Amino acid sequence: MKKSNKPFMSTSSFKNPLAKTLPRQIRIGVWASFISAGMLIGIGIFWVAHPAAAEGSFSIVPDSDAAIRFSKILSIFKAVGDVLPPIFVLLAISFRQFRLAGYFHLVTLLLVIAVDVFVWGSFVPNAGARDILQHIPFAIPIIIAAYCFLKPTSKIS
């Protein structure tokens, strides 16, 4: 086996994902990825900063210390589930693996947004259309980025 002289994770492997040499559709996907990552990481921080929001959302009655601990644990799991996918997307983009980032966006759309809509519709008491539609602003940049990264590009420039 031939050994590489480049150290693992060298800074030369990280390139500018917004370089003008990239196709316009990839740059649009990168910007949409940055927006969706900011939104998902922000909502993850919200769940950690305000665990009582889980009590209100899911009508967990804070009648005991166990219920309050449960809402804090629930909010941590919710935060981890919201923060991990954009980290993988940003890592894929930093290594210019745009198709992989597109697949990560699809997985995020299905496992984070769709599951969240299902949970809100099923377990939040008196959930209305507004409660379900609040997930659309999170889905829009994810759909745009996935489309931009997974749409075949022409080889002829």
Output the pLDDT for position 7. Answer: 53
Question: pLDDT tens track of the chain, all 157 residues?
Answer: 555 565 555 545 556 777 788 889 999 999 999 999 999 999 999 988 887 776 566 666 667 777 778 778 888 888 898 999 999 999 999 999 999 999 999 999 999 888 888 887 777 777 788 877 888 999 999 999 999 999 987 665 4
Residue 61's pLDDT is what? Answer: 66
Supply the pLDDT for residue 32: 96
Can you give the pLDDT at residue 88?
96
| Among 120, 101, 100, 97, residue whose Cα is nearest residue 37 | 101
- Residue 144 to residues 1, 13, 53, 99, 108, Cα–Cα distance (Å): 42, 26, 29, 13, 13
CB atoms inside a 10 Å sphere around CB 129:
8
Length of the chain: 157
Return the number of other C-beta atoms located less than 10 Å from residue 106's C-beta.
16
Q: What is the pLDDT, as a whole number, of residue 11?
A: 47
**Separation between Cα atoms, residue 109 and residue 117, nearest integer Å:** 11
State the pTM of this model.
0.80
Tokens of 5: 């002289």
- Residues in CB range of 51: below 8 A, 6 or more apart: 71, 72, 74, 75, 76
- The radius of gyration of the chain's CA atoms, rounded to the nearest angstrom, is 19
